């Protein structure tokens, strides 16, 4: 599993996590939030982007993303559920990594590309339930910038 950082290029999951830990240790007294969000675009095939953002609250952020190509998906419901499952997969890996090295206090949020406006409003309860049932905080639009800004930027 590889992730891309705009500055450092392609990194393995372990290299990405080492970079995240280094970033956190750079200003250890700051507060951090780790955000994971996915977005997709349907063209000839579906392009899925899962972003991992490390937000140093009030002092900037850095991010990484993973790109995945899959068959063309016509169902919005299927697309949103798959995006959410990709975020949960990466969220589980990140949380396990933090736990294994004793960084269990890092807050991890999953940002879901749904909102109270538009076609996705009927899916909110289900996907938020998926995320919170998996032990993560869930954010939806307009607060889901991990999905609607960062991941969206690279899915086009």
pLDDT digits (tens, 9 = 90+) for 16-64: 999 999 999 999 899 999 999 999 999 899 999 999 999 999 999 999 9
Domain count, the chain: 1
Q: What is the mean pLDDT of residues 121-130?
A: 96
Residue range 83-98: mean pLDDT, rounded: 96
User: CA of 36: how far to CAs of 20, 29, 111, 148, 149, in Å?
Assistant: 13, 22, 6, 11, 12
Phi, psi of 62, rounded to the nearest 5 degrees = -140, 160
HSE (CB half, 13 Å, CA atoms) of 6?
A: 10
Mean pLDDT for all residues in the chain = 93
Provide the pLDDT for residue 146: 86
- Longest CA–CA span in the chain (Å) reads 47
Contacts of residue 153, Cβ cutoff 8 Å, sequence gap at least 6: none
Taking residue 78's Cβ as centre, other Cβ atoms within 10 Å add up to: 11
Banded model confidence at residue 121, pLDDT cuts 50, 70, 90: very high
Mean pLDDT confidence for 87-110: 90
E strand map for the chain: 2-5, 9-12, 32-42, 46-56, 61-70, 107-115, 137-141
What is the domain range of residue 35? 2-155
Q: What is the pLDDT of residue 27?
A: 92
How high is the pLDDT of residue 153? 82
User: Has residue 106 got a pLDDT over 80?
Assistant: no
The Cα–Cα gap between 46 and 51 comes to 16
What pLDDT, on a 0 to 100 scale, did the predictor assign at position 16? 98
């Amino acid at each position: 599993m590889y992730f891309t950082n705009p500055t450092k290029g392609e990194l393995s999951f372990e290299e990405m996590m080492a970079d995240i830990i280094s970033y956190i240790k750079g200003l250890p007294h700051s507060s951090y939030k780790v955000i994971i969000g996915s977005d997709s675009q349907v063209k000839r095939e579906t392009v899925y982007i899962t972003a991992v953002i490390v937000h140093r609250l009030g002092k900037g952020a850095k991010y990484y993303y993973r790109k995945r190509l899959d068959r063309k998906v016509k169902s919005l419901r299927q697309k949103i559920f798959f995006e959410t499952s990709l975020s949960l997969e990466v969220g589980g890996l990140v949380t396990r990594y933090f736990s294994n090295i004793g960084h269990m206090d890092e807050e991890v949020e999953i940002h879901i590309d749904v909102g109270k406006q538009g076609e996705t409003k009927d899916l909110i309860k289900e996907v938020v339930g998926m995320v919170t049932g998996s032990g993560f905080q869930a954010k939806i639009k307009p607060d889901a910038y991990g999905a609607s800004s960062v991941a969206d930027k690279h899915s086009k």
